[in-house]
Amino acid sequence: MAGEHIYKQFDAELEGVRALVLQMGGLVEEQIVRSIEALTTGDEELANQVIADDHKVNTLDVNIDEQCTHIIARRQPTAGDLRLVMTVIKITTDLERIGDKAGKIARLSKRIYGAGLTRPRFREIELMSELVLEMLRKALDAFARLDADLAVDVSRADEKVDEEFRSVFRQLITFMMEDPRTISQSLDVMFTAKAIERIGDHAKNIAEYVIYMVKGKDVRHTTPEEIEQQIRGK
């Protein structure tokens, strides 16, 4: 009976940290949405709120890390359970960095509008943000459902984000060449696009960790085609 009780308690601890990861993911999603809204509307108050709320993401990061350390020290998990704990630690690191990128976008939005120049076009930026948000949501859903196939889809989607970033980069270079007065503002928009592109990279990382957790295969530093072949046999 005692052994069964300990096992149930351990299982509850694992489910607890999984739930915290999803809570952290939801908070990070909200940070991204608000930072993009601040960028596209020029809402300085909203940008300040995103920056101020970064501590919430950091607090969850520390809390989850402490719980994972406790589980490893007290429970000495093996095999699949250990993979889960290690995956959680890696995912929270990427989520924390995504939160940092959302804060960076908010700060850049304040600088872009503070320059007092004409409002730049943000449609391409919005499209990029929609793509990376979908990637992040799918990656977190894959984690919640232990769905390696869904994680593979996230890895494939990163190529589209990279393609959109290159398009934005080319447009901004053209703007700067045609009108040197736009250089400062265009650079800030470019930094914003790069931050969004990096969010996509972190979402891809999370998806790859999920594949490792579910399949026990380390697919980092491999192409989407290679990942798909390993997981789906295509």
Decide which of 219 and 126 is more confident. Answer: 126
Residue 66's contacts (CB-CB under 8 Å, 6 or more residues apart) are none
Distance CA 68, CA 92 (A): 11
Decide which of 217 and 153 is more confident. Answer: 153
pLDDT (tens digit, 9 = 90+) per residue, 152-194?
Answer: 999 889 999 999 999 999 989 998 899 888 888 889 999 999 9
Percent pLDDT > 70 in the chain is 92
Indicate left, alpha or beta for 221 from its phi (over 0: left) and psi (-120 to 50: alpha). left
DSSP state of 220: T
Residue type, position 221, single letter: H
Alpha helices in the chain (DSSP H): 2-41, 44-52, 54-75, 79-114, 123-145, 148-178, 183-215, 224-232
Decide which of 231 and 61 is more confident. Answer: 61
Band (pLDDT 50/70/90 cuts) for residue 196 is very high
Band (pLDDT 50/70/90 cuts) for residue 2 is very low
Q: Which residue has the tokens 């040197």?
A: 180
Q: What is the mean pLDDT of residues 63-92?
A: 90
Residue 115 tokens read as 């320059």
Decide which of 80 and 83 is more confident. Answer: 83
pLDDT of residue 1: 47
pLDDT of residue 131: 96
Band (pLDDT 50/70/90 cuts) for residue 35 is very high
Band (pLDDT 50/70/90 cuts) for residue 119 is low
Per-domain boundaries in the chain: 2-232
Residue 71's contacts (CB-CB under 8 Å, 6 or more residues apart) are 10, 13, 14, 17, 77, 85
HEC readout, 161-207:
HHHHHHHHHHHHHHHHHHCHHHHHHHHHHHHHHHHHHHHHHHHHHHH
Asked whether 85 and 209 are in contact (CB, 8 A), the reply is no
Residue type, position 17, single letter: V
pLDDT beyond 70 at 234: no
Question: What does the angle CA 93 – CA 94 – CA 97 come to, to the nearest 5 degrees?
Answer: 90
Mean pLDDT taken over the chain: 89
Q: What is the reported pTM?
A: 0.90
CATH of segment(s) 2-232: 1.20.58.220
